[in-house]
Structure 1
């Protein structure tokens, strides 16, 4: 595994603890809401650093700025699933998984010395969330916000030019999520919602052939979805 700095190890440890706490701290009697969503997800520029490990540039390092593409509707598509245990009318805790995506454009990928450079099946973000909602004063609508800490577990699909192909899931580092949206009830159990969501992840991936890749990925998404309470 790639050595991690002390701050990164501390943040990853805190994220894992928060994820476990959010998973197992649900109250015995509470309203549970399941949310399923898709939408339009983008990923802005970030620097990609590391060493090739294999291929024509074996032994060399790289440091390139990549303008990632989200390609939300290409297969496999962008989507997310969230479970929230509402302890009362205002506050809830839960866990969330989003299947985000990040593709390096062909020209930037080639310039950086790669045949493949993507996290597309997907750049999976798993977080434990704290949520706040406002039931009163907004008519039928219910505004809400949530924040979460957790881990990034992307499907790393990376191949240096002429080198070994890294293709598989890795836990690459800590992640965080911020969400703000509005929920509209259809029945006592079913609802629809729209929201904005931001994610951040600090990623250190192992490359086959002895290389490494480090990058901080951000995503912005406009989601629409359906919720179910029980």
Structure 2
């Protein structure tokens, strides 16, 4: 429900009327997202291998495994070049089979979303290439992570399964948008996110890990 609430907040922000005739964009994207290894520390009384956690998790993105990787972005352009807005991305990571076998877990993942929500600033160079139809852009934002934490030790026992606010997050992106007509455009971009995750476990323990994601996105934008 919290994930749906976040999406609803983005849609609400997109619907807020502006005091000028400045352009607004609402974008949707999907793509291929992965993540490098990260160190996991903490404690888990239900873990049969070691209750003190200190290991390196090898993450898998599995972008197209349901639920898939996707994102929404709303941008209000204050001028031809500068804009601001909000973004929600349903990033996700699974600990690899090797990681789970070595550390005593049957499940260790953020797969109904690592869920990064940020307030963004954007900059673009309109009408630069291809007779003015292709516009390069960059952007970034600060916000928070709201992952769906799914953790259970191999031996069974307490199953942590739910959304949590786990810490701060940031994103950076760069790409180019191609104008189809006055209303619609398509785009491709690279996106980077960084999130600090301090999650509580049903076993009474907790764990901490900072996750980086890298993604190549393809999407469409509706301008109004």
* TM-score, length-scaled by structure 2: 0.88
Shift of 1:204: 0.1
Equivalent residue number for residue 46 of structure 2:
54
Equivalent residue number for residue 134 of structure 2:
141
Contact 2:47 2:104 in 1 (8 A): no
Aligned length: 209
Shift of 1:27: 4.8
Q: Which runs of 4+ in 1 moved over 4 A?
A: 23-27
CA distance in 2, matches of 1:156, 1:55: 16
Matched, 1:224 2:224: no
SS at match of 1:49: strand
Equivalent residue number for residue 180 of structure 1:
174
Question: Given the alignment, which residue of 161, 165, 170 partners 1:171?
Answer: 165
Contact 1:122 1:154 in 2 (8 A): yes
* TM-score, length-scaled by structure 1: 0.86
Contact 1:49 1:63 in 2 (8 A): yes
Shift of 1:53: 2.6
Deviates more, 1:71-80 or 1:107-116: 107-116
Summarize the alignment of residues 114-129 of structure 1 with structure 2, pairs less than 5 Å apart.
114-129=105-120
Shift of 1:55: 4.5
Equivalent residue number for residue 28 of structure 2:
36
Shift of 1:87: 0.5
Shift of 1:107: 1.8
Contact 1:86 1:93 in 2 (8 A): yes
- What is the CA RMSD across the aligned residues, in angstroms? 2.0
Contact 1:43 1:102 in 2 (8 A): yes
CA deviations over 1:46-79 (Å, ceiling 9, x no partner): 0111111325357x20111111000001000000
- Give ranges in structure 2 of 5+ residues lacking alignment: 1-12
